[in-house]
Amino acid sequence: LNKTPIVIVTRKLPETVETRMGELFNVKLNDADQPMDREALAQAMQEADVLVPTVTDRIDADLIDRAGPKLKLIANFGNGVDNIDVTAAHAKGIVVTNTPNVLNEDTADMTMALILATPRRLVEGASHLLGENEWSGWSPTWMLGRRIWGKRLGIIGMGRIGVAVARRAKAFGLSIHYHNREPIDDSTHKELDATHWDSLDQMLAHMDIVSVNCPYTPATYHLLSERRLELLQPHAFVVNTARGEIIDENALIRLLEENKIAGAGLDVFEGEPKVNPRLSKLAKDGRVVLLPHMSSATIEGRIEMGEKIIINIRMMASGDRPPDRVLPSMI
Ligand code: 8YV
């Protein structure tokens, strides 16, 4: 990579990030703030030394195959790399990096917000005071939610975000349970007093709230399958701030409609930005809380993501190993 590489950024980024990138690199920005279409992406991958895509760009094996010989780095503006075929990139000698850690706490905050808001009917309650005041007065039986403290939270994917969720939930009086490929090191997370469940099925059957915090990979596609969702108890809530594809959304909707589970707080969807109208109907009925993929959406976080991208490009341009390289073996 030369010292002032051609960097093509597929989406509008915060101004401070764009300005700093412009000072350091030969940057081509996308002012339209709309995802590039496939042909524009293919063209960008011909021209660029570095491509900076986001979660809305699908950089599949075919696009990577068509990439020009100059393309050396795909620096994803995001933590999850499910939008990129990392194996195909690796095979072609293109380095892939992501932006880990800087969005852990923001994502955990929003996960906690959904853990609180869904059983306590926060959005539904607030909606009564929007516009026309529909509040006819307090009653002992009005807007009753489900208690949160003292309940069991089952975290699927106890990685950096999962641990950040666990710390918050512990402070709210929930007991922490998790399912992971490997148990976490208890000595470094003593304060969580977390229970590791080898069997996801077993864990699901015993939880009050389940939070999805694992990456989306071929192995986690529909990890919460219809069969597994059916193991949940009727009072259980599901929260997902990871990726929609990890849950069989149709099965989740059916179980909600049939009152086989209590509710869901979802920040991500299968096939977003389209959202299944049946989910919107459930939201109107106060059964689910839906957010438009905004768990990491803080200005501070976005700037730090930009800084990570800049560091990775600069390291690579000076012949060093970029710190946030993602290898196929890590997926
Ligand atoms: C962002 C995310 O919305 O980083 C991720 O994996 O899903 C979110 O933080 C997205 O990355 C922006 O590209």
Residues 6-102+298-330: name the CATH superfamily.
Answer: NAD(P)-binding Rossmann-like Domain (3.40.50.720)
C-alpha 296 to ligand 1 mean position (Å): 7
Q: 75 CB under 6 A from ligand 1?
A: no
* Terminal Cα-to-Cα distance of the chain (whole angstroms): 25
Q: 268 CB under 6 A from ligand 1?
A: no
Hey, which of 296, 300, 308, 331 would you mutate to test ligand 1's pocket, going by the most ligand atoms within 8 Å of its Cβ? 296
Domains 6-102+298-330 and 104-290 share a fold: yes
C-alpha 63 to ligand 1 mean position (Å): 21
C-alpha 79 to ligand 1 mean position (Å): 6
What's residue 133's pLDDT?
A: 76
What's residue 62's pLDDT?
A: 98
DSSP string of 212-238, one letter each residue: E-S---GGGTTSB-HHHHTTS-TT-EE
Q: Find residue 7's DSSP bridge partners.
A: 27, 50
Q: 102 CB under 6 A from ligand 1?
A: no
- Known catalytic residues are 243, 272, 293
- Give the separation between CA 327 and CA 309, rounded to whole angstroms: 17
Hey, which of 57, 79, 302 would you mutate to test ligand 1's pocket, going by the most ligand atoms within 8 Å of its Cβ? 79
Whether this model's pTM surpasses 0.80: yes
Our CA angle for 228, 232, 237, nearest 5°, is 115
Give the atom of ligand 1 at the shortest distance from the alpha carbon of 103: 9
What's residue 164's pLDDT?
A: 98
Interface TM-score (ipTM) > 0.95: no
Domain ranges of the chain: 6-102+298-330, 104-290
Residues 6+ apart with CB under 8 A from 66: 42, 45, 46
- Split the chain (331 residues) into runs of 10 and give each run's mean pLDDT: 94 95 94 88 97 96 97 98 98 98 98 98 94 87 97 98 98 98 88 96 98 97 98 98 98 98 98 97 97 98 98 96 96 86
What's residue 67's pLDDT?
A: 98
Residues 104-290: name the CATH superfamily.
Answer: NAD(P)-binding Rossmann-like Domain (3.40.50.720)
